[in-house]
A and B are shown apart, each in its own frame.
Chain A
Amino acid sequence: MRSLRYLERLEAESIHIIREAVAESERPVLLYSIGKDSSVLLHLTMKAFYPAKPPLPLLHVDTTWKFREMIAFRDRAAAELGLDLIVHRNPECVARNINPFDHGAALHTDMWKTQGLRQALDEHRFDTALGGARRDEEKSRAKERIFSMRSARHQWDPRRQRPELWRLYNPRRAQGESVRVFPLSNWTELDVWHYIYLEKIPIVPLYLAAERPVVERDGLLLMVDDDRFPLAPGETPRHRRVRFRTLGCYPLTGAIESEADTLSAVLHEVMTARTSERQGRAIDHTNSGAMERKKQEGYF
């Protein structure tokens, strides 16, 4: 009998988790953030239910500040796979024109993403939300269960996590509770890239190096993606060869200088990297407990 190879095993584990989550849910949803991890999660979800179509919609919590290429990619992916796509924008943020420049990264992220996600989950009464987070991303993620309960107010209580043994998950919810499910928990950044490469999974081109207009602020290389980016006097965007290791709101996501314009070059770069992928995220840098606090409040 042949034994499974490393990525085959990870793939099989994720498919098992996705099926288990959906089977025990009344209203499941796939949280689709358009990034590479979401692309892998979506691919695995297609595999999990083949030859049927996945019985759950995609939800994108939009902030109106995503890279334009991301939005185009999102709409194309949903259409090609024939899946329902729900786009939610926090109406309060729309009304108040919340943005990272005037309101700061923390408020922007809290209102658009954390509050926006809670609104969308409540509005559609989703009881199970699948997301692409991985344990190797960040220290508080390393502590989270694959099936992670949320209170009726969407809060995570790290002190009261359920025991989670073997491959035997308990996604059952008491009244008002919901569960977030992370099928990629055991994948590393390198695994994700390796899998994308082997499976030829489409990703947003921003992950590959190209000439892009950027300015440098607080040590981050920010791409000027549209004319809403307020330039300081004398500040002019310069074209530099850059790519992104993670994707989020463009004013909050730092690029890295890179020549890696193919997937294999990206893989090579990831293998020899000396900094972690979240290094480009302005939002994580407030202090090292920042991510845990956001998660307790309901951030994905």
Chain B
Amino acid sequence: MTQALEDYLIGQQDVAQLRFLTCGSVDDGKSTLIGRLLYDAGHVLDDQHAALTADSRRAGTTGAEPDLALLVDGLQAEREQGITIDVAYRYFATDRRRFVVADTPGHEQYTRNMVTGASTADAAVILVDATKGLLVQTRRHSHVVRLLEIGEVILAVNKLDAVGYSREVFEQISDDYTRFARDLGLASVTCVPVSALRGDNIAERSPHTPWYEGPTLLECLETVPTDGGSAPQDFRLPVQHVSRPDAEFRGYAGMVVGGAIRPGDRVRALPSGREARIARIVTWDGDVDEAVLGQSVTVTLTEGIDVSRGDVLCSADRPASVATHFEARMIWMSEQPLVAGRRYLVKVGTCVVGGAVTELRHAIDVNTLEQKPAVQLGLNEIGVCDLALDRPVAYDPYEENPDLGGVLLIDPETQETIGVALLGSALTQANHLHWQRIDVDKRARAALSDQRPCVVWLTGVPGAGKSTIANILERYLHGLGKHTYLLDGDNIRHGLNRDLGFAEADRVENVRRIAEVARLMVDAGLIVLVSAISPFRAERNMARRMVGEDEFCEVFVDTPLAVAEQRDRKGLYRKARAGAIRDFTGIDSRYEPPERPDVWIETSAHSPERAVELIVERLRFMGVLS
């Protein structure tokens, strides 16, 4: 038996694997379809069957029949609500193939989970309810499938039993979809009439659709190409980790995400551009004479060049590109909208750098495929933008190599993944912009005037008393002989920022410019006082990061909204309440109070003079004042 088993197992090693996802609108029957595939492929074991029968009696929606959707809806909340919230991965096999199926949610709210499931798929099964036809979610999901370059699409026209197995209904929906898919640019679409509930044309050919001569769903899945297009041919190895067990050995560990490499091959390390030859390819199982696509290895180089995590080793003849500015397609995944100018972390391969969207070109209407102008991208919206990074990175366009062209946008505060960008071409003009080196620096300038520069940033709701305090503080510092400048939010809006309004994107840009000016002034050796509402935490923290940690003092001028509104010295709250001013902080635009300000001033308890004392105390502590 051992020999037979061995032969069987060896044979199994070469059975191809297909990763696919099921998607489509809510209630189109995705979970039932997968349950049916697992069931018909004999992958429901006895104890699971018993649990299913019990669950079906308790929570099922199919009467006496087992509710196959319960095989995949694994979260309690999902079973209670009868919906799918998050993607579930299931594994099954037939004699011809093994399958990993990602069952993805249909609700628009959970699109980011659908995108998660789609990103690793070779093929997509898009379900349509025959009684409803194409819906917005059918189109949205098709769009994501196209964006992520999934080559094979199977349209499963489901619930055909509910329309009397009508050939006309099937053909109408197939025609509608094929037209939409052509406009979208989906290359390969196969339409199959099915009923997941009854098992028609899933694993077995249905007696109810004699007019249909195409393959069953399972036959489609067993025959579509598994590589999802052409595998990247040029050698790429993003370095994950530098291995230095002793003084002799220096290896670069990572996965080959393009092409192949052999000892002796010339490679270029990017972004530095230095070249060397591969000396050894080291694995636990011994050195190997070739590392191929998808393999995790450790390589050593013949020359000692500087390579670290985040760098990419490439074929010297056909290296990846290096750039800082890109055109990118973006799928946004956060409740906080994408706003041009706000700073994010960007992960490209194994490299994490700071960056920002410099321009949002347009959003895409998933229903009509129209490009529409947009100032921000909301949750689950798709758009095209310009992305600028703080320093050059190695990359390939997404179409050429998803491993180096698909990137994550990460919120630097929460560390959440808030969007993904698919990199297109580099925006070349920016590549020629360089920093000019200047010899006289901040320290030299500050030394001349015998002071330590810094930013004192006062934030608070309108009418909190920021400007009053800033004014007294500046008089005091001036009296000490310090060189100061007061940047007042209102005053700057009359000049530098007069082109900006009060929408979220404008507020972000307003604060970004103030922060940039403050940075320049600190660089010039000044003590800069900023008095600005600066409602969002992210931008205040950005301002902090622009200067040194010991050069920034955040002052929270804490006046409860009700008190500020009651004072209302400028009459602004009254106008805002009357609707004469829109996007007014505290009324119809939010204010995010600092969590850990350097100085916290409660104006109900502290006079402006006392507030200045508290700030001066802090400046002494920071070493700005002696």
Q: Which residues of A contact B (CB under 8 A)?
A: 1-9, 11-13, 15-16, 19-20, 22-23, 46-53, 135-136, 138-143, 145, 158-159, 161-168, 170, 172-174, 177, 185-186, 188, 194, 197-198, 264-265, 267-268, 273-276, 279, 288-289, 292-293
Whether B408 contacts A165 by the Cβ 8 Å rule is yes
What residue of chain A has the Cβ atom nearest to residue B74's Cβ? A139
Q: Which of B1, B77, B241, B285 contacts A23 (CB 8 A)?
A: B241
Whether B415 contacts A186 by the Cβ 8 Å rule is no
Question: Are A51 and B89 also in contact (CB < 8 A) when A140-B74, A142-B74 are?
Answer: no
Q: Which of B14, B46, B119 contacts A166 (CB 8 A)?
A: B119
**Stretch in B108-116, B173-181, B183-191, B515-523 touching the partner:** B108-116
Whether B90 contacts A51 by the Cβ 8 Å rule is no
Question: Are A143 and B87 also in contact (CB < 8 A) when A6-B17, A12-B294, A16-B296 are?
Answer: yes
Q: Which of B255-311 contact A (CB under 8 A)?
A: 255, 257, 259-260, 282-285, 290, 292-296, 298, 309
Whether A12 contacts B296 by the Cβ 8 Å rule is yes
Chain B interface residue count, Cβ-Cβ cutoff 8 angstroms: 83
Q: Which of B12, B89, B294 contacts A142 (CB 8 A)?
A: B89
Interface pairs (21), CB distance under 8 Å? A3-B293, A4-B293, A8-B295, A13-B294, A23-B241, A49-B241, A51-B251, A53-B245, A136-B91, A140-B75, A158-B75, A158-B77, A159-B85, A163-B116, A165-B116, A168-B349, A168-B407, A174-B415, A274-B46, A288-B55, A292-B75
Whether A163 contacts B115 by the Cβ 8 Å rule is yes
Whether A6 contacts B85 by the Cβ 8 Å rule is no
Question: Are A47 and B406 also in contact (CB < 8 A) when A16-B296, A264-B2 are?
Answer: no
CA distance A28 to B566 in the complex (A): 53
Question: Are A276 and B240 also in contact (CB < 8 A) when A23-B350, A172-B410 are?
Answer: no
Whether B245 contacts A275 by the Cβ 8 Å rule is no
- B9 close to chain A: CB less than 8 A: yes
Whether B113 contacts A264 by the Cβ 8 Å rule is no
What's the minimum C-beta distance from B115 to chain A, rounded to whole angstroms?
A: 6
CA distance A274 to B116 in the complex (A): 32
What's the minimum C-beta distance from B143 to chain A, rounded to whole angstroms?
A: 16
- B500 close to chain A: CB less than 8 A: no
Question: Are A166 and B417 also in contact (CB < 8 A) when A4-B293, A51-B243, A143-B75 are?
Answer: no
Which chain A residues lie closer than 8 Å to B295 at the CB level? 4, 8, 12
Q: Which residues of B contact A (CB under 8 A)?
A: 1-2, 5-6, 9, 12-15, 17, 45-48, 51, 54-55, 71-77, 79, 85-91, 98, 100, 112-113, 115-116, 119-120, 240-241, 243-245, 249, 251, 253-255, 257, 259-260, 282-285, 290, 292-296, 298, 309, 333, 345, 347, 349-350, 352, 402-403, 406-408, 410, 413-417, 420
Which chain A residues lie closer than 8 Å to B120 at the CB level? 165-166
Given contacts A6-B15, A47-B284, A140-B75, 11 further A-B contacts (CB under 8 A): A1-B293, A2-B290, A6-B14, A23-B240, A52-B245, A142-B89, A158-B77, A166-B406, A167-B255, A275-B47, A288-B51
User: Count of A-B contacts with CB under 8 A?
Assistant: 191
Which chain A residues lie closer than 8 Å to B260 at the CB level? 1
What residue of chain B has the Cβ atom nearest to residue A267's Cβ? B5
Whether B48 contacts A19 by the Cβ 8 Å rule is no
Whether B72 contacts A135 by the Cβ 8 Å rule is no
What's the minimum C-beta distance from B78 to chain A, rounded to whole angstroms?
A: 8
Which chain A residues lie closer than 8 Å to B76 at the CB level? 289, 292-293
Q: Which of B9, B416, B417 contacts A267 (CB 8 A)?
A: B9
What's the minimum C-beta distance from B301 to chain A, rounded to whole angstroms?
A: 15
CA distance A3 to B284 in the complex (A): 19
Whether B91 contacts A188 by the Cβ 8 Å rule is yes
What residue of chain A has the Cβ atom nearest to residue B310's Cβ? A23
Whether B86 contacts A139 by the Cβ 8 Å rule is no
What residue of chain A has the Cβ atom nearest to residue B256's Cβ? A12
Whether A2 contacts B46 by the Cβ 8 Å rule is no
CA distance A138 to B76 in the complex (A): 13
Question: Are A268 and B1 also in contact (CB < 8 A) when A6-B98, A168-B406 are?
Answer: yes
Whether A139 contacts B88 by the Cβ 8 Å rule is yes
Whether B119 contacts A52 by the Cβ 8 Å rule is no
What's the minimum C-beta distance from A150 to chain B, rounded to whole angstroms?
A: 13
CA distance A275 to B255 in the complex (A): 36
Whether B406 contacts A162 by the Cβ 8 Å rule is no
Whether B13 contacts A6 by the Cβ 8 Å rule is yes
Whether B282 contacts A165 by the Cβ 8 Å rule is no
